[in-house]
Each structure stands twice: as structure tokens, then as C-alpha cells.
Amino acid sequence: MKLTANLMILIVTLFGAAIDGYHCKVVQFIFGDSLSDAGNNKYLSRSLANANLPWYGIDFGNGLPNGRFTNGRTVADIIGDNTGLPRPPAFLDPSLTEDIILENGVNYASGGGGILNETGGYFIQRLSLYRQIELFQGTQELIKSKIGNQEAEKFFQEARYVVALGSNDFINNYLTGVYSDSWNYNDKSFLDYLMETLEAQLKILHKLGARQLMVFGLGPMGCIPLQRVLSTDGSCQQRTNKLAISFNQAGSKLLDNLSTQLAKASFKFGDAYEVVNDVITNPQKYGFNNSDSPCCSFGRIRPALTCLPASSLCKDRSKYVFWDEYHPSDSANELIANELIKKFGFLRVDAPSPAPAFGPSSETDE
């Protein structure tokens, strides 16, 4: 009995000590483009990459546009939800405070943004990855002055980092033929340029404290509706798909290398190219009914660059792989997120008891 009492005191003391110090939550910092934007471009009033229109967000919360470039959740939303992490608010949201950052992290992702500064220039306003990292440095200063350098260092080292850009560097830069990158580089040298730039950016993030970081690779971007309309028979652009595959191979090597080079770093690369490609080829196998045209479309006038209030919507949004000309639907994002969770081997931060892979009821649901 005396032993138990001592143990109790010990436990209480340890617990007491733990709540004395600042208890940091594990949060996410997200760097990305329109596939991860959770409202930043809404506040870039001159940006032409904007999802602040009906029918964006129709299957999210109250159904009003929220800045996400899809009908529902982004891949990062779903991965965060499934791993027990809060959804970080957009950096440009005027209600963002230090307390909110400490509880939820920050999302810097911006529609039209790329790894390269020059990408997406014709959108007029967008946050490139370098700019997003600068804004993150500002966030760090803010948090340091709030909780002190030591606690801030711990907070930023324990956080999870997502870096998800690259498709705009191709679709809205290299492949357009209107930027100097189109004629100054070839497929190989452009990829090297992207990888060198990404390497420098990831090293900066490591210097700033990032230890657990994942980079999302590219899907078969030659199959987005906007690329398909470029060919007379509506088939996927094979050259664009090949570039995505090369990006994924080079990115995967880069991240393996950085993970061994950088101290205490778990830097990972994962893509859902194969599974999305399979969905596009065999939509029925995954419960989809359409994998080549946008759910939100302007009838026969294609491509409409964005989903507009005057557009019409498909009957069943959950059966379309693509929401608009560029972006996957909520259902497709769920599939992509589940694939990435498998690839990255994510563990929940709140460590629940493991659920059986197949519940007893799953057999009768078929």
C-alpha cells in the first residue's frame, strides 16, 4: 500500500511538472498550391486564381465558397483528419492569432503557386514556395515572442510539414510556351532546375526546424480535363504524364538523399500517380462514373478556366474524378489521401487503439 502511495505521488509530481511547462500541440504547416489552398487566395484581391465563387465548397461545411479549389476537402484536409491533426487556417485569414497558430498550425498554400518564383505569373497574385517560406519565418518570429525561443524551437521541431507543389511549374509555366522557362530549358534541364530549387527550399525549412516533412508528388496531370481538351480525341497528354513521372522519380531520390544528409530529419516523398492513373482508366472499379470531364462545367464551352456561378453541375458529384478543369473532386481527394497515408506509413498523433482492418459488417455491405 505504501508503495502504491509513493507511486501515486511520483505520478502526480511528474504530471504536475508536465503541465507546468508549456504544452505544445503537434500541428501542421502546409506549403502548397491550389490543391492545398484553404483560403489564402481569397485574400489576394487581384489574383486570377480564385475559388471564392459558387460552386466551390458546395460539399464543405455550410456549402459556401471557402477558398478551397474543390467541392469538398483537399487531400491535406483528409490526411490531417485521418491522422488526428487539426486543419490549419489560411495564413492570410485576418483572424489568425498566435493562440490559433499554437493550436492549429498554418496553411500557406496558394492557388497558382509553384516551386519556382516565376511560375503562375499570369495569375498576377499568388504565393510562390519561396514567398510561403518567408511568411513562415514571420510566423516563427511571432511565436518566439509569444512563448520564448526555447519553447518555440520545440514547437516547430515537433510539427509536421507538408510541401505539395510542382504541377503549376509544368502546367502554368514550362508547358505553356509563353514563359522564358519554356525555351531556356528542355525536359531534362527543367527537371534539374526544379529539383535544385526544391532542394534549397527544403534545406531552408530544415534549418528553420522542420524535422518531419513530406513532399507530395504529382498525379497524371496530362489527364486533367484541361489537358485532355488539347488533343483532338480527348485523350491524356502523354508528354505531360511523363514529366510527372520524372518529377516523382527525381523527387523521391532527392528526399531519400536529404533524409540521410540532414540531422534528425524524416523527410519523405510520396505520390498517388499509379492509383489515380488506374482510377482514370477504370473509374467503375473505384465507384466513379466519369474520369475525363469536370463535374462543374460550362456545357460545351470548354475549357472554362474555373467553375463559375453560371456553370452547371453534374448530378452526382461523388461519381466524378474531376471537380473542375484542374482539380480532383472530394471523392477523388479521399482516394488520393488514403493512398498517401499508406505510402507515408502515417501514424495518428493521438494514438488510438488500432481498429480492425475489416469490420465484421463489411461483408454484408457489399
Ligand X SMILES: *[C@@H]1O[C@H](CO)[C@@H](O)[C@H](O)[C@H]1NC(C)=O
Report in angstroms how near the CB of residue 35 gets to ligand X at its nearest: 21
Binding mask 246-265 for ligand X (x = CB under 6 A): -------x---x--------
- The distance of Cα 314 from the centroid of its chain, to the nearest Å, equals 25
What count of other Cβ atoms lies within 10 Å of the Cβ of residue 17?
Answer: 9
With CB under 6 A as the contact rule, the residue among 97, 284, 312, 362 that binds ligand X is 284
Q: Sign of the CA dihedral 329, 334, 339, 344?
A: positive
Pairing label, strands 320-322, 290-294: parallel
Report in angstroms how near the CB of residue 290 gets to ligand X at its nearest: 5
All residues at 6 or more sequence positions from 8 whose CB lies less than 8 Å from its CB, including other chains: none
Residues 65-84 that bind ligand X (CB under 6 A): none
Cα–Cα distance between 279 and 341 in angstroms, integer? 17
SS3 361: coil
Name which of 277, 293, 288, 365 is nearest 330 in CA terms.
288
Applying CB under 6 A, the site for ligand X has a residue count of 10
**CB-nearer residue toward ligand X: 151 or 199:** 199
Q: Is 13 in the site for ligand X (CB under 6 A)?
A: no
Report in angstroms how near the CB of residue 29 gets to ligand X at its nearest: 17
Binding mask 122-141 for ligand X (x = CB under 6 A): --------xx--x-------
Report in angstroms how near the CB of residue 44 gets to ligand X at its nearest: 14
- The distance of Cα 52 from the centroid of its chain, to the nearest Å, equals 18
- The length of the chain, given as a count of residues: 366
Please state whether the peptide bond connecting residue 354 to the residue before it is cis, i.e. omega within 30 degrees of 0: no
Cα–Cα distance between 182 and 118 in angstroms, integer? 12
With CB under 6 A as the contact rule, the residue among 290, 293, 318, 338 that binds ligand X is 290
**CB-nearer residue toward ligand X: 244 or 279:** 279
With CB under 6 A as the contact rule, the residue among 39, 80, 166, 283 that binds ligand X is 283
Binding mask 103-122 for ligand X (x = CB under 6 A): --------------x-----
Q: Which residues are catalytic, by number?
A: 34, 324, 327
Report in angstroms how near the CB of residue 63 gets to ligand X at its nearest: 25
Strand intervals (E) in 113-173: 160-164
What single letter denotes the amino acid at residue 21?
G
**CB-nearer residue toward ligand X: 58 or 115:** 115
C-alpha cell read off for 337: 489521401
Report in angstroms how near the CB of residue 289 gets to ligand X at its nearest: 4
With CB under 6 A as the contact rule, the residue among 238, 289, 312, 362 that binds ligand X is 289
Q: Which window, 96-104, 150-158, 282-290, 357-365, contacts ligand X (CB under 6 A)?
A: 282-290
Burial of 170 (C-beta count, 10 Å sphere; 0-12/13-18/19+):
buried
Cα–Cα distance between 88 and 90 in angstroms, integer? 7
What single letter denotes the amino acid at residue 187?
D
**CB-nearer residue toward ligand X: 151 or 292:** 292
**CB-nearer residue toward ligand X: 219 or 283:** 283
Q: What's the Rg (C-alpha) of the chain?
A: 22
**Site residues (vs ligand X, CB under 6 A):** 117, 130-131, 134, 253, 257, 283-284, 289-290
